[in-house]
Chain A
Amino acid sequence: MSSSNLFNVTMIAYMVSTCIFFAFLASRTKAVGLAGTYAALFGFVVQTAAIGLRWKESYDQGHGHAPLSNLYESVVFFAWTIVLIFLVIDFKYKYRAIGFFVIPFALFGMAWAQLSLDAGIQPLVPALQSNWLVYHVITCFLGYAAFAVACGISIMYLIREKMEQTGGNVSAGGTLAMFPSIRILDDLNYKAIMIGFPLLTLGIVTGAIWANYAWGTYWSWDPKETWSLIVWFIYAAFLHARITRGWVGRRAAILSIIGFAATIFCYLGVNLLLSGLHSYGG
């Protein structure tokens, strides 16, 4: 069994999980929601094994590095972190409907990686030969993943709010019946960002330490660095607006979605559209 096969199994598991979560929203049966979580958990376990196996494969090929070094590996890892953060929040709060709005991000990542990205294991170029690679990538992507979860929850918030305003079918028990209440969605959005912001900060700090070690400058306003700071500014504004002025609800949800859009641009847009030091695709 190669890691590539296992990644395919992972992708299918996330697809199944997404479908089950949809069935859960439609059927409003608790057991179906639990099955969705188990499907995601199964995919997560397989993916963890696959990442470990790919790591071993890189040693077998004589390269010997953590599978975090190119676009394919980073997309796979991003999917893994999204499911990890989802499972943590799901385990703690058990609002299964969130799965339908979060697992598709992981599914999309896996599908993109498996279907159209180069999965070859390449040796590390000199710039990436550092332990900081692991610390930097892990903290950044866990942060990104928390923002992805916050974005999914914010989308739910906006849908639920809209439905309620238009004389919703909440009490009648439509699809929305399985959505957590608006108050809880708003709170979960904030909680996910509270997980993401410290991780993003750590990611930026480890990146600065690494840059100082490799290039002799901890901050050079390279587009990737600048975009990570832009994301940091957006979520800092979110936190200030919220903590002190009670900026809860709709505006917080919109800011959270904008923040995730900037995160995705920081991750992919900078590599695909702009030029700079981070040309490895990670």
Chain B
Amino acid sequence: MTTNKRGLAQQLWDFFCSLRLSIFLLIGLALTSIIGTIIPQGPQREYLATLSEMKIRLYSSLGFFDMYHSWWFILLLYLLTLNLICCSIKRLPRVWKIVSEPVLVMDETFQKSLGQVKELKLRGSKADLKDRVAALLKAEFAEAVVTERDGSYHLFAQKSPYSRLGVYVVHLSIIIIFIGALIGSFFGYKAYVNIPEGGSISQVDSRTGKQIDLGFQVACEKFSVSFYDTGAPKEFRSVLTVLENGQPVKGYQSIPIVVNDPLTYKGITFYQSSYGPTDEGALYHISVRDRNTGATTKLEGRQGERLALPGGAFLSVMEATQDVRPFLKDFDGPGAQVEFTPAGGKSQPFVILSQKWDNFNAQHGGDLVISFDGMDQKFFTGLQVAKDPGVLVVWLGCALMVIGICMAFFMSHKRIWARVSDDGVTVGGSASKNPAGFEIGFDELVQKLNKV
């Protein structure tokens, strides 16, 4: 019974320590990850409409609509973590021993375990040969440790032994990144909030649909958007102020934020994300000039409002824009689509532009020349709100990963042994990685040794 149990535990241990499992999991993760890039993630009504009932049921039972958080994908990630922990536990002590207690003497049995062994065609006294080989090793490779045993000299030289730990640094970094991600998912949140210009908020809506109290207020003083000549957006800018108990916080007043330049207060970061017009609607400014007297009247109104003009006519603004270029390519500046009702007449729709284009405006309006002076549109700014106390841990993991990969790749633990005995000189060598590359270097070294 005990042996059986032990056998099972041993088998499980071997299973989780195996590199075949690592390769299987890496390729498995690569293949399954493709699914979520093809099937749109999250609620996508339009996409769902293209699927049959069967497919929807199948996909949702497999978690394909939120694949990267499905139980089986998370399980694969946990298995990979477990696998790399087991691999590290199994191999690290052995590797540590190689690093800290190198084998100084290459005997017959050890020699057989080495990838590279060559007999040198050197003649001379043992002590002299030893010195010459040691000098060449020092010049071409690394300083050798000399051990005398059974009448032979044993030389050992090595390069960058610590590179062997690089792999474990990378494994550790992956675990640290996962820990950072878990900290973020347990103690952080992602949320969203809209703040109208001149307004303030103290709560945000999390992605999971909860209302979260910030513990302070954020006011949006102004939002502005600017465009390039091509019509592409140039900058989205919100000016924010943080308030505690209604009082502005020093150092957090009138802070402009743009995309790629967020504001962080008490570990909560606000990112410029979107914008839109407030429900209140724009205030339109209109000038009316009497053709006969030259007298000008200024009017203001909101969309659809009937404005009384001098002489008994009425005007309503239906739609307006700050920039007419996209609609009327020969003109620029603000413009409005209006409905003009002369005294006792029928209403006529037409477009008015700024005073710069008064010739255009003069085509309509009878005795009046009506021009559009622009509009005050209040916006709301849409902010992404994130609190992620795990993010520094993730960065630590990323830094370790890059360092570990460089240790593991650009450094190889190369070892050379030489035995100077009565039978001649035997050289053996091994490298922790890239045996093919090491063989080339080893062959060159042996050629040089043959010439000492």
Give the residues from 198 to 253 in chain B that come closer than 8 angstroms, CB to CB, to chain A: 228, 230, 232-236
Give the residues from 92 to 145 in chain A that come closer than 8 angstroms, CB to CB, to chain B: 122-123, 125-127, 129-130, 132
The answer for the CA separation of A182 and B395 in the assembled complex, in Å, is 41
- CB distance A218 to B394 under 8 Å? yes
- Quick check: is B33 within 8 A (CB to CB) of the other chain? yes
Chain A contact patch, size range = 35 or more
Contacting chain B: which of A7-15, A39-47, A160-168, A236-244?
A236-244
- CB distance B436 to A190 under 8 Å? yes
A213: chain B residues within 8 A (beta carbon): 260, 262
Contacting chain B: which of A21-29, A76-84, A150-158, A227-235?
A227-235
B23 touches which of A127, A219, A240 (Cβ 8 Å)? A240
- CB distance B190 to A230 under 8 Å? no
B259: chain A residues within 8 A (beta carbon): 126-127, 129, 214
Which of B30, B272, B402, B405 counts the most chain A CB atoms within 10 A? B30
- CB distance A197 to B233 under 8 Å? no
Closest to B27 in A: A237
When A208-B398, A213-B260, A248-B436 are in contact, do A226 and B26 touch as well, CB less than 8 Å?
A: no
- Quick check: is B36 within 8 A (CB to CB) of the other chain? yes
- Quick check: is A217 within 8 A (CB to CB) of the other chain? yes
- CB distance A130 to B19 under 8 Å? no
- CB distance A240 to B384 under 8 Å? no
- CB distance B26 to A190 under 8 Å? no
- CB distance A198 to B409 under 8 Å? yes
- Quick check: is B360 within 8 A (CB to CB) of the other chain? no
- Quick check: is A174 within 8 A (CB to CB) of the other chain? no
Closest to B395 in A: A209
Give the residues from 374 to 390 in chain B that come closer than 8 angstroms, CB to CB, to chain A: 384-386, 388
- CB distance A198 to B406 under 8 Å? yes
The answer for the CA separation of A223 and B40 in the assembled complex, in Å, is 9
- CB distance A205 to B402 under 8 Å? yes
A132: chain B residues within 8 A (beta carbon): 260
Q: How far is the CB of A31 from chain B (nearest CB, A)?
A: 25
Give the residues from 250 to 267 in chain B that come closer than 8 angstroms, CB to CB, to chain A: 258-260, 262
- CB distance B232 to A236 under 8 Å? no
B398: chain A residues within 8 A (beta carbon): 205, 208-209
B54: chain A residues within 8 A (beta carbon): none
The answer for the CA separation of A82 and B130 in the assembled complex, in Å, is 47
Closest to A234 in B: B30
Q: How far is the CB of A186 from chain B (nearest CB, A)?
A: 6
- CB distance A123 to B228 under 8 Å? yes
- Quick check: is B391 within 8 A (CB to CB) of the other chain? yes
B181: chain A residues within 8 A (beta carbon): 219
Give the residues from 184 to 230 in chain A that come closer than 8 angstroms, CB to CB, to chain B: 184, 186-187, 190-191, 194, 197-198, 201-202, 205, 208-209, 212-219, 221, 223, 226-227, 229-230
Q: How far is the CB of B114 from chain A (nearest CB, A)?
A: 15
- CB distance A237 to B37 under 8 Å? no
The answer for the CA separation of A265 and B225 in the assembled complex, in Å, is 35
When A221-B41, A226-B33, A274-B37 are in contact, do A183 and B228 touch as well, CB less than 8 Å?
A: no
A209: chain B residues within 8 A (beta carbon): 395, 398
- Quick check: is A270 within 8 A (CB to CB) of the other chain? yes
A237: chain B residues within 8 A (beta carbon): 22-23, 26-27, 30
- CB distance B405 to A216 under 8 Å? no
A205: chain B residues within 8 A (beta carbon): 398, 401-402
The answer for the CA separation of A213 and B22 in the assembled complex, in Å, is 33
- CB distance B34 to A230 under 8 Å? yes
Q: How far is the CB of A10 from chain B (nearest CB, A)?
A: 27
- CB distance A221 to B19 under 8 Å? no
A215: chain B residues within 8 A (beta carbon): 271, 273, 384
- Quick check: is B345 within 8 A (CB to CB) of the other chain? no
Give the residues from 47 to 104 in chain B that come closer than 8 angstroms, CB to CB, to chain A: 68
- CB distance B23 to A241 under 8 Å? yes
Q: How far is the CB of B231 from chain A (nearest CB, A)?
A: 11
A183 touches which of B37, B269, B436 (Cβ 8 Å)? B436
- Quick check: is B434 within 8 A (CB to CB) of the other chain? yes
Give the residues from 58 to 89 in chain A that come closer than 8 angstroms, CB to CB, to chain B: none
- Quick check: is B433 within 8 A (CB to CB) of the other chain? yes
Residues 388-423 of chain B: 1 if any A CB is under 8 Å from the residue's CB, otherwise 0?
100100110010011001100110000000000000
B27: chain A residues within 8 A (beta carbon): 233-234, 237
Q: How far is the CB of B302 from chain A (nearest CB, A)?
A: 30
A226: chain B residues within 8 A (beta carbon): 33, 36-37, 68
The answer for the CA separation of A237 and B405 in the assembled complex, in Å, is 14
- Quick check: is B437 within 8 A (CB to CB) of the other chain? yes
When A130-B260, A213-B262 are in contact, do A218 and B391 touch as well, CB less than 8 Å?
A: yes
- CB distance A229 to B401 under 8 Å? no
Closest to B409 in A: A194
The answer for the CA separation of A241 and B26 in the assembled complex, in Å, is 11
A233 touches which of B29, B235, B385 (Cβ 8 Å)? B29
A127: chain B residues within 8 A (beta carbon): 259-260
- Quick check: is B38 within 8 A (CB to CB) of the other chain? yes
Closest to B227 in A: A123
A interface residues, Cβ below 8 angstroms from B: 122-123, 125-127, 129-130, 132, 183-184, 186-187, 190-191, 194, 197-198, 201-202, 205, 208-209, 212-219, 221, 223, 226-227, 229-230, 233-234, 236-237, 240-241, 243-246, 248, 262, 270, 274-275
Would you list the 5 A-B pairs with minimal beta carbon distance, nearest first?
A216-B386, A233-B30, A126-B259, A223-B37, A237-B26
- Between-chain CB contacts (< 8 Å), 24 pairs: A126-B233, A126-B259, A129-B260, A184-B440, A197-B405, A198-B405, A198-B406, A198-B409, A202-B402, A208-B394, A209-B398, A212-B388, A213-B260, A216-B190, A216-B385, A217-B386, A221-B68, A226-B68, A227-B37, A233-B27, A233-B33, A237-B27, A240-B19, A241-B23
19 new A-B contacts, CB < 8 A, other than A126-B272, A221-B36, A226-B33, are A122-B232, A123-B234, A126-B233, A190-B434, A190-B436, A198-B405, A209-B395, A216-B262, A216-B385, A217-B388, A218-B391, A221-B41, A223-B37, A237-B22, A237-B23, A237-B27, A241-B19, A243-B433, A270-B37
